[in-house]
């Protein structure tokens, strides 16, 4: 579940990354292969296939990582003759994909992705907490989430003295 406010923040972050990294395209894809956001020159790209193949690639590389004793490979680079892909797992749940060419460098892309990943992680954490809070206020809890956010939130009915949900 994603609120419109989180979706707007995510789109703005992806747009800014496209500019700051001098990238051609930036995609944000969930690990199930669903496209969340796209920024840049996406007109000639099959975004559905890119999202699906990204998820498959991350899953395959996760399998390879486990074979050598790693949990996952959070960052991947695929360098082509004219264009390259940089992929980074963000907040353990989505994949940030940057397509770039010779107008920029891998180092710049890597640096900007690192900065943006922290911002996106905060947006997802804030959205998860807000969702848990609002569901708890209605007397329900969101099952897909686990951990602290799955506990009754501040402001939930029957919790006197607690602060209400952030808006």
Q: What is the DSSP string of 62-130?
A: HHHHHHTT-S---EEEEE-SSEEEEEEEETTTEEEEEEEETTS-HHHHHHHHHHHHHHHHHHHHHHHHH
Q: What are the pLDDT digits (tens) for 5-55?
A: 899 999 999 999 999 999 999 999 998 999 999 999 999 999 999 999 999
- Decide: 54 and 97 in contact? Cβ < 8 Å: yes
The two tokens of residue 127 are: 């959205």
Q: Is the pLDDT of residue 145 over 70?
A: no
pTM here? Answer: 0.76
Please tell me the predicted confidence (pLDDT) of residue 27.
95
Please tell me the predicted confidence (pLDDT) of residue 4.
85
Q: Specify the higher pLDDT residue, 130 or 145.
A: 130
Query: What are the φ/ψ torsions at residue 94 (nearest 5 degrees)?
Result: -135, 165
Alpha-carbon torsion angle 68, 70, 71, 72, nearest 10: -90
Q: What are the pLDDT digits (tens) for 65-114?
A: 999 999 999 999 999 999 999 999 999 889 999 999 999 999 999 999 99
Residue length, the chain?
Answer: 167
52-66 in b/e form (b: 16+ CB < 10 A) is bebbebbeebbeeee
Please tell me the predicted confidence (pLDDT) of residue 23.
97
């Amino acid at each position: 579940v994603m609120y419109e406010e989180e979706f707007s923040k995510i789109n703005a972050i992806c747009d800014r990354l496209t500019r700051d990294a001098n990238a051609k395209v930036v995609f944000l894809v969930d690990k199930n292969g669903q496209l969340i956001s796209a920024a840049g020159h996406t007109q000639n790209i099959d975004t559905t296939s890119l999202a699906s193949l990204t998820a498959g690639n991350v899953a395959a590389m996760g399998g390879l990582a486990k074979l050598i004793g790693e949990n996952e490979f959070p960052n991947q680079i695929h360098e082509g003759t004219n264009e390259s892909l940089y992929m980074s797992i963000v907040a353990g749940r989505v994949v940030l994909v940057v397509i770039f060419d010779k107008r920029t460098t891998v180092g710049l892309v890597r640096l900007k992705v690192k900065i943006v990943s922290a911002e996106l992680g905060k947006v997802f954490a804030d959205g998860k907490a807000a969702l848990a809070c609002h569901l708890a206020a209605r007397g329900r809890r969101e099952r897909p989430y686990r951990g602290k956010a799955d506990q009754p939130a501040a402001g939930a009915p029957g919790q006197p003295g607690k602060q209400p949900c952030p808006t």
